[in-house]
Amino acid sequence: MRPFTYERPVNVQAAVAAASHLAKPLVPPTQSPAQFIGGGTNLADYMKLGVAQPERLVDLNGLDDAGLRRIQVDDKRIVFGALVRMSDAAAHEEVRRRCPLVAESLVLAASGQIRNMATLGGNVLQRTRCEYFRETSWACNKREPGSGCAAMDGFNRQHAVLGGSDQCIATYHGDFAQALIALDASVVVEGQHGSRKIAFADLHRLPGDTPNIETVLGPADIIVAIEVPLGPWSGRSRYLKIRDRESYAFALASAAVALDMDGGTVRHARIALGGVATVPWRAKKAEEALLGKVLNEGAAHAAAEAAFADARPREHNAFKIPLGKSTLVRALLETRDMKV
Ligand SMILES: Cc1cc2nc3c(=O)[nH]c(=O)nc-3n(C[C@H](O)[C@H](O)[C@H](O)COP(=O)(O)OP(=O)(O)OC[C@H]3O[C@@H](n4cnc5c(N)ncnc54)[C@H](O)[C@@H]3O)c2cc1C
Ligand code: SF4
């Protein structure tokens, strides 16, 4: 590991200033010399592997704003402070009752120890687990722009079938983000130019020709809160995750579903897919396929076909297409049958 300095500012402005000082124009946050640390479960891992090499760590855990550690629920929305731990959000009684999808996406992620440590802000910015990204001896456009992509013709069982490019097919592995994009959440960001709100759907960037630029954030931007609007679909919502083993594994395929039903008919559907795409993935075509339909097995299968119509498999990951479809079908039918 390379030497680095460590700072623990006491307020958000000081944290932004600490990161701004070393920020370089056009360098994305993941490659900036100064990096924020929430729970450290992702960043410390990548520092040990030599993938992340910050000169300065700016620890957010000393920030004195109580809102950063608070969960607020009212009739219209849930607001999570960015330093709320995954385990606290997953166990929150009102969150579980008002929007089971959010709680389930968190409790099915990682291990108990990691959830106790990891923050929600850090969670949504976690980086891919692509094996070739994690091992610095391989070519990787995300780690080293222009070097190539070892996964294209390598072992790509874990990789994405949706949203990939000729430069990168790395999966976005997080679970919570699927709930957030399905529910039209937004993040509140503090940066060099003050405060702004970003729709969660706009936060992550498709890899395209620049897979090293993963989000629209600047190098001194801090996520301070995550807002989840509530609606008639929130109570009838769930997260289904399929993985190689039941404990402690990333999704091979997952589905975040929230439904507003009029009897057996879909008034409004919100769907996102995990484990199969390069970014948190809203399945709009599947939602449209369900609008006004009676939600039976046939309608669920039609929605799943629509969700994966644009899928592009590589040599080892074609299984994700039928797996992703059956995951979505099951999630839709189980959500329909929830007693709300
Ligand atoms: C073995 C293992 C299994 C896992 N399994 C899963 C799983 O199944 N599902 C899943 O979703 N996740 C899983 N994870 C990932 C885990 O959820 C993340 O490591 C964790 O959520 C990251 O949160 P953190 O606070 O520790 O982030 P950190 O490591 O502190 O930060 C992550 C990134 O975000 C930046 N950052 C942190 N906070 C902020 C902020 N407020 N504003 C701006 N930038 C910020 C950091 O600079 C860094 O780049 C797993 C991790 C491990 C190690
Ligand atoms: S898939 Fe993306 S992260 Fe993985 S090796 Fe290729 S460029 Fe790197």
Domain chopping of the chain, boundaries: 5-60, 69-340
CB 225 within 8 A of CB 89: no
Which ligand 2 atom sits closest to the C-alpha of 131? 4
Residue 300 CA, ligand 1 centroid: distance in Å: 33
Angle at 267 between CA 265 and CA 272, to 5 degrees: 105
140 touches ligand 2 (CB under 6 Å): yes
38 touches ligand 1 (CB under 6 Å): yes
Q: What is the pLDDT of residues 166-182, one digit of tens each?
A: 999 999 999 999 999 99
Q: What is the pLDDT of residues 4-44, one digit of tens each?
A: 999 999 999 999 999 998 777 777 888 889 999 999 999 99
Tokens of 158: 């874990």
CATH topology match: 5-60 vs 69-340: no
Which pLDDT value is given to residue 30?
Answer: 86
The whole-number average pLDDT for the span 297-316 is 98
User: At 133, which helix (H) or strand (E)?
Assistant: helix 131-134
Ligand minimally distant from the alpha carbon of residue 140 = 2
pLDDT at 227 over 80: yes
Residue 340 CA, ligand 1 centroid: distance in Å: 32
* Secondary structure of 64-95 as H, E, C letters: CCHHHHCEEECCCEEEEECCCEHHHHHHCHHH
Q: How many CB atoms lie within 10 A of CB 166?
A: 11
Confidence of residue 1 (pLDDT cuts 50, 70, 90): low
173 touches ligand 2 (CB under 6 Å): no
**Which residues have a Cβ under 8 Å from the Cβ of 34 and sit 6 or more positions away?**
18, 19, 21, 22, 23, 54, 55, 56, 57, 58, 219, 220
User: At 5, which helix (H) or strand (E)?
Assistant: strand 5-7
CATH superfamily of domain region 69-340 = CO dehydrogenase flavoprotein, C-terminal domain (3.30.390.50)
Q: Where does 5-60 sit in CATH, by number?
A: 3.30.43.10
Handedness of CA 24, 29, 32, 37 (dihedral sign): positive
168 touches ligand 2 (CB under 6 Å): yes
- Greater model confidence, 27 or 326: 326
pLDDT at 124 over 80: yes
Give the span between the Cα atoms of 262 and 250, in whole angstroms: 34
Residue 123 CA, ligand 1 centroid: distance in Å: 4
Which pLDDT value is given to residue 29?
Answer: 84
Q: What is the pLDDT of residues 180-213, one digit of tens each?
A: 999 999 999 999 999 999 999 999 999 999 999 9
CB 201 within 8 A of CB 179: no
Q: How many CB atoms lie within 10 A of CB 202?
A: 11
Question: Which of 26-30, 44-48, 52-56, 268-272 comes out lowest in average pLDDT?
Answer: 26-30
**Which residues have a Cβ under 8 Å from the Cβ of 65 and sit 6 or more positions away?**
11, 12, 81, 224
Confidence of residue 246 (pLDDT cuts 50, 70, 90): confident
